[in-house]
Amino acid sequence: MQSGKSRLYPEIDFDAPGKRTGFLRLPHSVHRSAYGWIPIPIVAIANGTGPRVFLMGGNHGDEYEGQVALGKLIRALDPGEIQGRIIILPSANFPAAIAGSRTSPIDQGNLNRSFPGDPDGGPTAQIAHYIETELLPRSDFVLDIHSGGSSLTYRPSTLMRRPGPDRFDRGAEMMRTFGAPVGYMVDGGWGEHTLTAAAARAGTFHMSTELAGGGQVTPAALAIAEGGIRRVLAKLGVLAEAPAPSGPPTRLMQVRGQDYYCYAPEPGLFEPLVDLGDEVAAGTPAGVIHCQDTPWREPALAHFGHAGIVICKRVPGRVERGDCLYHLATDLET
Ligand SMILES: [Zn+2]
Is the confidence at residue 239, as pLDDT, over 60?
yes
Is the confidence at residue 286, as pLDDT, over 70?
yes
Ligand 1 centre distance from Cα of residue 212 (Å): 11
Is the confidence at residue 3, as pLDDT, over 70?
no
pLDDT score at 1: 43
| Rounded mean pLDDT, 300-310 | 98
Ligand 1 centre distance from Cα of residue 148 (Å): 6
| Cβ-contact 103, 95 below 8 angstroms | no
Ligand 1 centre distance from Cα of residue 197 (Å): 14
Ligand 1 centre distance from Cα of residue 141 (Å): 18
Ligand 1 centre distance from Cα of residue 302 (Å): 24
Provide the 3-class DSSP secondary structure of residue 71: helix
Ligand 1 centre distance from Cα of residue 244 (Å): 26
Ligand 1 centre distance from Cα of residue 58 (Å): 8
Ligand 1 centre distance from Cα of residue 102 (Å): 7
Ligand 1 centre distance from Cα of residue 48 (Å): 33
Question: Residues near 169 by Cβ (< 8 Å), separated by ≥ 6?
Answer: none
Beta strands (DSSP E) in the chain are: 9-10, 18-27, 37-47, 52-57, 84-89, 141-146, 152-154, 157-161, 182-186, 205-210, 251-255, 261-263, 268-272, 279-280, 285-290, 300-303, 308-314, 318-319, 324-331
Ligand 1 centre distance from Cα of residue 59 (Å): 6
Ligand 1 centre distance from Cα of residue 27 (Å): 25
Ligand 1 centre distance from Cα of residue 289 (Å): 26
- d(CA 325, CA 261) in angstroms, rounded, equals 8
What are the distances in angstroms from CA 248 to CA 180, 221, 224, 228?
9, 14, 12, 13
Ligand 1 centre distance from Cα of residue 181 (Å): 18
At 191, is the pLDDT very low, low, confident or very high (cuts 50, 70, 90)? confident
Ligand 1 centre distance from Cα of residue 18 (Å): 30
Ligand 1 centre distance from Cα of residue 79 (Å): 29
Q: Closest Cα partner for 167 from 200, 211, 201?
A: 200
Q: How many helices (H) and strands (E) does the chain have?
A: 6, 19
Ligand 1 centre distance from Cα of residue 70 (Å): 15
- d(CA 184, CA 227) in angstroms, rounded, equals 19
Residue-wise DSSP of 50-65: --EEEEEE-SSTT--H
pLDDT in tens, 101-141: 999 999 999 999 999 999 999 999 999 999 999 999 999 99
| Rounded mean pLDDT, 156-171 | 96
The residue type found at 54 is F
pLDDT score at 334: 85
